[in-house]
Structure 1
Amino acid sequence: MMTERWKPTMKPELNDKQITDIFPYLKAVPPEEWMEAKAFTKHFKAKSRIFHREDAAMYGMFLISGTARITIINENGNEAVLNKLSAGEVCSLLVLSGLGGRDYPGTLIAESEVEVLYVLKSSFLRWLQVYEPIRSAVFGGLLEGTLRMADILQERQSLPLEQRLAKALLAVTSDENPLVHTTHQELADEIGSVREVVSRTLGRFQNNGWLETGRGWVKIVNRGCLTEPTM
């Protein structure tokens, strides 16, 4: 029985312009296979969990709009950001775990408002194997996602925490929009640290006059200081 969480909001047609503009390789799927895939789309608000292990047992997914973060639980029991997913991309962990017959090891959390296309897992895996345009595009994205994960892990090992935190804050703000709604725990997950350390570092940044912070928000006051290579 489909829960409210999975109640369809729109049935995509093969020639639906939005979907085929973002995922042109899906034009390879015949109309009858769209019906078999029981495809539907759903909108989620920022910070919603949009995909996890239980979902991956039933569905494959394509991110139509917005951005999401792929998180895993590390050996210390903390949630850590493994990678990012942007509109038009497919989660590399989903592909690898699906083809390998393993449980999906992560969770996808919306960073912004997102729209997601879901199809039955059996259809998702069949399309990867049968249709060359889909296979080529998805595996090309898988390579890019793997390289991006390697960059994130290397950055965590090579950059001091202060620089990782500053970089994360600068990435989600701008001169025009200096305010970001986030928690210290979410920032810790983002940069591979713990909340207490992030809170102390934000406190130092605030004492230096580089930013202001309150419950659930951070406002950048001096971007120039945060972009300095040493702090």
Structure 2
Amino acid sequence: MTDAMKDYLREHLPFYRDLTPEEKETLENSAHYRAYRKKELIYNGLEDCAGLYLVKKGEMRAFIVSDSGRELTVFRLFEFDICLFSASCLLSEIDFELSVEAAVDTEAILIPNAAYNELLKNIKVLAYTNRLLSSRFNDVMFLIRQTIFAGLDKRLASFLIEQAAVAGGDVIEITHEEIANHIASAREAVTRMLKFFQNERLISVGRGKIEIIDFSRLNKIASA
């Protein structure tokens, strides 16, 4: 591990300051850099168990796949976020077929399972892991409520607003298929709703991109 990576862990790994000198040495001797291209699979459900990822740059998308092949985004991870489910084999009571891919070109630091298992002997690392696990399951429960009780118009409006915030502007570069995967809908239904939003002058739809024209009205739909 380079000195720059060690400095990054010291600054951005939440439990680093709680580690003993021996645990810090274990961490720094085992963690390593990983880079993934957009759409590259990082973690493949129960068939894989790499370890804990700290996102250094980019975005990871955690999703589940139905028997029919439809994808549903469960949560997204950005810079400084930690991907815990990629170390699911260390969580003996978790049986959750979640996959993770790079939503964009992504860089991360991987803490292998063997090393993280040693760190879990530290009560503060274990407590942090439990808090993070609880937070992720809260995300899952929110998603379930949204999917069951919220209409497509509300889910789509919320997603567009969220994605614009991530993009840092009015223009979102995304396909109808990608939106459908994020909000658990059929591509055809998403296309129809986008066309409706465009006719209402809320957005402008182009090839592979969407421009938000009226944030205020879109927010009203999302919060209705």
Per the normalisation by structure 2, the TM-score is: 0.82
Unaligned runs of 5+ in 2: none
- Matched with 1:8 is none
Cα distance in 1 between the residues matched to 2:182 and 2:105: 18
Cα distance in 2 between the residues matched to 1:60 and 1:13: 20
Alignment of 1:1-231 (within 5 A): 11-12=1-2, 16-27=6-17, 28=19, 29-32=23-26, 34-35=28-29, 37=30, 39-53=31-45, 56-100=48-92, 105-128=97-120, 130-173=121-164, 177-229=169-221
Amino acid at match of 2:193: T
- Following superposition, the deviation at residue 136 of structure 1 comes to 1.6
Change (3 A) 1:115 1:106: same
- Following superposition, the deviation at residue 115 of structure 1 comes to 2.3
The answer to whether the 8 Å contact 1:63/1:86 transfers is yes
- Matched with 1:7 is none
The answer to whether the 8 Å contact 2:43/2:49 transfers is no
Unaligned runs of 5+ in 1: 1-10
* Number of equivalent positions: 218
Cα distance in 2 between the residues matched to 1:51 and 1:94: 6
The answer to whether the 8 Å contact 2:59/2:78 transfers is yes
The answer to whether the 8 Å contact 1:166/1:227 transfers is yes
Cα distance in 1 between the residues matched to 2:4 and 2:25: 6
- Following superposition, the deviation at residue 113 of structure 1 comes to 4.5
* Identity level (%): 19
The answer to whether the 8 Å contact 2:26/2:115 transfers is no
Amino acid at match of 2:156: L
Deviates more, 1:202-211 or 1:168-177: 168-177
Cα distance in 2 between the residues matched to 1:15 and 1:42: 11
Cα distance in 1 between the residues matched to 2:47 and 2:11: 25
Q: Secondary structure at the match of 2:55?
A: strand
Q: Secondary structure at the match of 2:118?
A: helix
Superposition RMSD in Å: 2.9
Q: Secondary structure at the match of 1:141?
A: helix
Cα distance in 1 between the residues matched to 2:6 and 2:39: 27
Q: Secondary structure at the match of 1:229?
A: helix
Cα distance in 1 between the residues matched to 2:33 and 2:67: 34
Cα distance in 1 between the residues matched to 2:180 and 2:158: 13
The answer to whether the 8 Å contact 1:63/1:117 transfers is yes
